[in-house]
Amino acid sequence: MATLLYRLGRSCFRRRRLVFACWLTLMAAVIAVSAAFGGTGRLDDEFSIPGSESQQALDVMGRAFPGGSGTSAQLVFTAPAGGSVEEAPFKAAIDDTLARAARAPQVADVTAPEATGTVSADGGVAVAQVGYRVSKSDLDADSLDALDATAAPA
């Protein structure tokens, strides 16, 4: 086996330009075949095996907890130096932002920082969770733009 690999390596080195050209041709062919058979579309990171017990469990979870079946985003709120996100003016702005975020397209639920305990010890930073109804691959750019727009005033 070692002799065979030695001869293969020596042969490839002696004809390195030909070997390089063959690899380029092979890569071009793979790309062309991929494009011809629909490989130019979006990649999908979802995996399912219809009829399996695991898939049935995931389907039940998706129906019972629709907010948990999609992707999520985080809204991070920071208070000015020396301030706290729990002070009345900042709290009102955060609550308003979360209410508008809940009305954004494809949003399933919004969890306030107090509910998850994601307020820093000094009260300067808080993190809210936004759950979407769809997976990351199905999330519209408009949904993200709407979420950005809701956070602008806060």
* Tokens, residue 91: 């709290």
Residue 15: pLDDT band (50, 70, 90) is very high
Contact status, residue 105 vs residue 140, Cβ threshold 8 Å: yes
Contact status, residue 70 vs residue 135, Cβ threshold 8 Å: yes
- Alpha carbon distance 97, 20 (integer Å): 57
Residue 140: pLDDT band (50, 70, 90) is confident
Residue 152: pLDDT band (50, 70, 90) is confident
Q: What is the mean pLDDT of residues 49-72?
A: 73
Give pTM, 2 decimals.
0.56
Q: Domain 66-151 is of which CATH architecture?
A: 2-Layer Sandwich (3.30)
Sequence spans of domains, the chain: 2-36, 66-151
More confident call, 144 vs 153 = 144
- Alpha carbon distance 123, 117 (integer Å): 11
70-113 tens-digit pLDDT: 788 889 998 888 888 888 888 888 899 999 988 888 888 888 88
Asked if pLDDT for residue 66 goes beyond 90, the answer is: no
Asked if pLDDT for residue 40 goes beyond 60, the answer is: no
Contact status, residue 73 vs residue 147, Cβ threshold 8 Å: yes
Name the percent of the chain lying above pLDDT 90.
23
* The predicted structure's pLDDT at residue 56: 81
